[in-house]
Structure 1
């Protein structure tokens, strides 16, 4: 059967197949418009225009994404590109919004399936659309088979960031096997002068910014580990043209909201067109879609800034704070965590003594870490048995919680719900509850195995023990840990052709547990931790209030880790602890002040062993915590300017946070090592109101003696200021308040 006949039959049967009417008309919103004459969709918001159309072969074709185009300027209708050669026909050289693998497509598809008869050809045509508020929904369908793909576009009017996702529905009478499913493909204007920015790392060395020119072929960013992973993060930013200033230039950026295995492919094709496709990782992936069943992809968010990487990150921060996080972005409390003081050796008396010391320096939240449950004496036993250890806490947790409350702090607790030790009552009773392949070894990491949350009984067990814990104890905060990646990702309880659904079902059930807990305990706050930054993404952030960027709390290493982190994620969720010196990571000795100022650039916490602190340490900490509370709102929820990067061996590092109303700024400056009596480079602020007068005061450190106490924003940005820093691992911080 020819493709033209396919299209004819396709148009005849659509009305009876779809709930949405076949129509090229819909009510425009303030941000989303459709031109019925040209069949062009436009989404305009926050200085950005995104446009695509239905082309001459009924496929969705991107037209423009970038700086806003005037409403009076019409965009040409979409039309397929001509054949370049017999090797590169219109189907592969014409960019697509969401292409199935079929026809002439030789590039990365958004969707690949196998039908029951072995056919793997998938060509998606436009059927209908609907506009409601800031959401556009488009229905597409294969030219012959009853496989439908609903494409969703949501736009945030304040930032111009788009969320794109797909719902794949099988309306045939036989199952379909999905082998690859992306959330979206983002297409950039044709060009050869693009630089790709992305984040790589490892445990204790997360979020290192990488930059490389985009060349013909593919660059693949991914995790095949069952969770987001330390090694890559599902974020990208693409700059056009060389730039020496982080706050200038065109940047397209995106972040995938998915906490399981994922993949983002950045591709430059044979016509130098650049596209970015992201969604479920197709490695070891398949999803059997029975008749009437649907598969919804993650959301792939994308945005544009004409203010460089700095502008892109500030847009993303604002979007995360207002649209992603599960509740209003209240300032994160200053917390104390007991792990480094006691490790597994927790008990009621020891924790109460630490709580008293923590309260004395202004801590607002006391968190007891690992070791409080089951037979947990070390990391070899106890995971899965979530009852309070009666030897350590003979009267339960209530006496400790009451003590913490009496000291003016709320109480938090460490949990690792998704894991089990083989040495546990749970595993002895339910060895089938872990990810495993029948008859194969079960690889242990950190002496633990991964519970298969895809199983409904495991999902229910995890929810109910957490529910019971929260119902019987006044717990304000959970530090939710996840300390290993997947191995042997089998699911023997289901049919072989259903087992690879585990990658989707596990993550969906994780989200559902978090959702249900938050619904039942609306004041509960949760931190996502995975051996540091192993599960940081917009998917988990939709259900948690903060994340743990790295187990490495060395204050100098944290400068580059936090620098990279803030390209993709807001400082408002970035937990940063002050721990002991010398630190375990590098045996590096640093002052209490240096450690505090490094951590005060995010959400401040203390994890040091307070039993070893001197009176001078307590006094310094108390003063700096009080100072932090005076700038906390600005640091956590303001606009971040990375003035000097710590990357590439830089001797200096400078960040500035400016409140949204521009009435306050906080400046942090760091020096690795001074040499040859050179002064610290002059610092030039950004983002202030040039006509407003700002008074500068020291949080810690000194300015040059000729620095004015009060000057306009124009002065601080144009003239700058000189910080007096000399020595090794030195730091200073200042606040600027509008007068």
Structure 2
């Protein structure tokens, strides 16, 4: 796409009104059919003149001669929107009920607007006054189109929105495969590949938050092809749903957005509702290329702007050293050890507040425990700052223990139903952030804490799913809005805190990696991947995580050995090299580390700081994905292609197996590069064509089956030297 070409152009497709959306990587062609359907006539490679000769009719399934009436149906036709009431039998993206109980809508295209690379297509239903706006924001440089929808009631009677998707996406007939992220607590972000069968594959969460079990990201490829990839990521931290429906002619119909489960939105006359957004794109550069597009989009447009130009700090978190046994002198000692290692941020985890000696009490009472901090929290905060580090603290503001002053004062503040016994999980309940008084009450507590102390960082945790989701004081027609209003309320509180304390950094955590999506990443600077710090497991999780989310947002922890979740033991260097793939964090009892480990940790932290700009802001390439037996390698290349960082790992050796060649990517073929460790100079062409050996020197005795070997290489461009 030439730089001076418009991102959005009005055109025609087979005589129909059409719009061509073009980015540097792909094109999307939309048109409105005579029946009012919004078609997706093309989404993919921009070959120039995309609209020429496309009618969409070629996508229709074969109509038998004695079933001519079936030609009026939209089954098998790729669509950009689908409404219950269309002449189709595929998954609807919009269902609106009127007062008489009917849910059939018939939308007609009325208008379009193009403003600042944003296309808005307006449809309405004369019978009800329903107005629907489909929005397409084109980020041409990043190869991304961001979609959302707004539904408005311009009629005289109330309407009930039973379902409204952020986006509908249709692909023409082919055999497709999906790539999705699944798992469970301690095993999140497992990249899952499956052939899409006839019918529907549903990805979703009904737990109230993003979830450990699935993530609102997807990619689609043609079966047997590694190049073309269509992908999308939803910006929502509550219940969500992505439906991948293979139609009878093998066309693919994707519906992504808010989960319709137990949810509805009441629209009085004059009211409207806007969905969360879906960032979607296409590339012919495989899953790795799709990930790089999403990474750049997140770094430039999603992550909070305040800290985009400064790297997230190396941090130490106290949880694995102290758990709830927080005591000021021990914390001061840990801070001293952390500073000696080169840590930049010291984070006190759970146990500093209220009656918090275990997980049975204190949540909601964000007041410093005087028994643990006799001279107040300021003593520790000042010492941490004197040591040259930022100070961070753990919070779980959306939750409350029944054994807390907050719950005793306001038992009605939790999500509940008056005639149902509440279900405890981790001995806690969920505060109803749909309520304004709850939001204001929580905000007042947090504001007081942050105003009284020089707190630079908050780890915002979230440790249970939602049950008995009720809002008894709301009007009956509004009660099913609670799922959405709660999440919006959380966003509001975090957003207001960021506005009042603009230098504050926030980490999103939900029992590890249970709440990571483009919605929360618009408010949080970094994200936990998992409570499981086992480096072998983390390689697989971080590989999956980075298919959807930028390394700049990915927190990795170096923990003690044996690892507290799996009990496995691995070398300190290996643990560091895995955690260095994104934002480096350390936990564990560093006061108990020997001098050799401390010396090695200081060296590795210093090395990470040198490599950090390329790791966090460069383009990531997974050269060899994680495996149980074979080598694994990941590479980062600076945007100017002058530097490259390569991590190579071997979790488990196999007897008799020879070394592999690891070919680098994304370098300048004609440029010469020098390896920092030994001064070797060669060309980008050699590094990409011949590559590096995966071999490691023989391990010292005793040799074990699990070798846990790793190394990191820095390659830097040099000028005027001859390769040797």
- Taking structure 2 as the reference length, what is the TM-score of the superposition? 0.94
1:235 corresponds, among 202, 212, 217, to 217
Partner of residue 269 from structure 1, selected from 235, 238, 247: 247
For the 8 Å contact 2:635–2:647, the answer to whether it is kept is yes
Gaps of 5+ in 2: 700-706, 719-724
**Does the 8 A contact of 1:437 with 1:491 survive in 2?**
yes
Q: Which of 110, 124, 133 pairs up with 2:93?
A: 110
Q: Secondary structure at the match of 2:371?
A: coil
1:717 paired residue number: 688
Query: Which residue of the partner structure matches residue 534 of structure 2?
Result: 554
Q: 8 Å contact 2:206–2:261 — kept in the other structure?
A: yes
- The Cα shift of 1:72 comes to 8.1
Q: Could you say what secondary structure the match of 1:538 adopts?
A: coil
Establish whether residue 733 from structure 1 lines up as the match of residue 712 from structure 2: yes
Deviation (angstroms), 1:206:
0.1
- CA distance in 2: counterparts of 1:269 and 1:224, whole angstroms: 26
Aligned residue runs from structure 1 range 337-376, under 5 A: 337-376=317-356
Give the CA deviation at 1:610.
0.8
- Report deviation, 1:171: 1.3
Is 1:344–1:376's contact at 8 Å kept on the other side of the alignment? yes
Q: How far apart, in 1, do the equivalents of 2:407 and 2:691 lie? A: 62
Q: Deviations over 1:12-62 (max 9, x none)?
A: xxxxxxxxxxxxxxxx98201112674110001113110111112233211
Report how far residue 74 of structure 1 moved: 3.0
Instruction: Give yes or no for contact 1:379–1:446 (8 Å, CA) kept in 2.
Output: yes
How far does residue 456 in structure 1 lie from its aligned partner after superposition? 0.8
- Cα separation, 2, equivalents of 1:231 and 1:723: 33
**C-alpha distance in 1, partners of 2:671/2:417?**
66
CA distance in structure 2 between the partners assigned to 1:419 and 1:224 by the alignment: 18
Aligned to 2:414: 434
- The 8 Å contact of residues 78 and 169 in structure 2, kept in 1 or not, is answered as no
Within the candidate set 505, 508, 512, 1:528 is matched to 508
Please say if 1:692 is aligned against 2:675. Answer: no
Checking the alignment, whether the CA contact within 8 Å between 1:82 and 1:90 is kept in structure 2 is no
What is the rounded CA distance, in whole Å, between the counterparts of 1:372 and 1:687 in structure 2?
Answer: 47
Contact 1:53–1:77 (8 Å) recurs in 2: no
Q: Is 1:49–1:64's contact at 8 Å kept on the other side of the alignment?
A: yes
- Report Cα offsets for 1:126-160 as digits up to 9, x if no partner: 11010011111111112522001111110111112
Structure 1 segment 87-102 matched on structure 2, within 5 A: 89-102=72-85
1:193-212 deviations in whole A, cap 9, x for unaligned? x2100000000000001101
Q: Secondary structure at the match of 2:661?
A: coil
Alpha carbons 2:195, 2:223 under 8 Å: kept: no
**Distance in 1 between the 2:284 and 2:61 partners?**
32
Distance 1:452 1:376, change over 3 A: same
Q: Tell me the secondary structure at the aligned position of residue 130 of structure 1.
A: strand
> Separation in 2 of the partners of 1:683 and 1:81?
45
- Partner Cα distance (2:513, 2:159) in 1: 36
Q: Which residue of 2 aligns with 1:591?
A: 571
CA contact (8 A) 1:29 1:133 kept: no
Superposed counterparts of 1:154-303, under 5 Å? 154-192=137-175, 194-243=176-225, 249-303=227-281
Kindly indicate whether residue 122 of structure 2 is the aligned counterpart of residue 144 of structure 1: no
Q: Check the 8 A contact 2:184/2:213 in 1, yes or no.
A: yes
How much does 1:465 deviate? 1.3
What is aligned with 1:653? Answer: 632
Supply the distance in 2 between the matched residues of 1:562 and 1:570 (Cα, whole angstroms): 10
* Aligned counterpart, 1:51: 29
In the alignment, does 2:393 pair up with 1:413? yes
Of residues 724-733 and 382-391 in structure 1, the stretch that sits farther from structure 2 once superposed is: 724-733
CA distance in 1, matches of 2:228, 2:329: 57
Question: In the TM superposition, what is the alpha-carbon distance from 1:106 to its structure 2 partner?
Answer: 1.3
User: How many residue pairs align between the two structures?
Assistant: 698
Query: Equivalent of 1:642, from 622, 642, 654?
Result: 622
Partner of 1:8: none
- Alpha-carbon contact 1:99-1:124 (below 8 Å) kept: no
CA distance in 2, matches of 1:393, 1:304: 54
Which stretches of structure 1, 4 residues or longer, exceed 6 Å deviation after superposition? Answer: none
Task: Tell me the distance in 2 between the aligned counterparts of 1:359 and 1:318.
Answer: 32
For residues 361 and 471 of structure 2, what CA distance do their matches in structure 1 show? 24
CA contact (8 A) 1:42 1:49 kept: yes
Contact 1:30 1:133 (C-alpha < 8 Å) held by counterparts: no
Q: Shift of residue 724 of structure 1?
A: 3.6
Which is further off, 496-505 or 86-95?
Answer: 86-95
Alpha-carbon distance in structure 2 between the residues aligned to 1:382 and 1:129: 54
Residue 495 of structure 1, CA deviation: 2.5
Residue pairs, 1:657-672, within 5 angstroms: 657-672=636-651
1:395: how far off? 2.2
Instruction: List alignment gaps of at least 5 residues for structure 1.
Output: 1-27, 699-706
| 2:10 is the alignment partner of 1:30 | no
CA-atom RMSD, angstroms?
A: 1.8
Whole-angstrom CA distance in 1 between matches of 2:245 and 2:529: 29
Secondary structure of 2:487's counterpart equals helix
Instruction: Tell me: CA distance 1:53–1:72, structure 2 relative to 1, closer, same or farther (3 Å).
Output: closer
SS in 2 for 1:378: coil
* Cα shift at 1:469: 1.2
* Whole-angstrom CA distance in 2 between matches of 1:338 and 1:235: 32
Q: Distance in 2 between matches of 1:671 and 1:692?
A: 29
Query: 1:405: Cα distance to partner?
Result: 0.8
Shift of 1:88: 7.2
- Provide, for residues 574-617 of structure 1, a one-character-per-residue CA deviation record: whole Å limited to 9, x for no partner: 00010000012221111111110111111101012112100001
The equivalences for 1:406-555 within 5 A come to: 406-555=386-535
TM-score, L = length of structure 1: 0.92
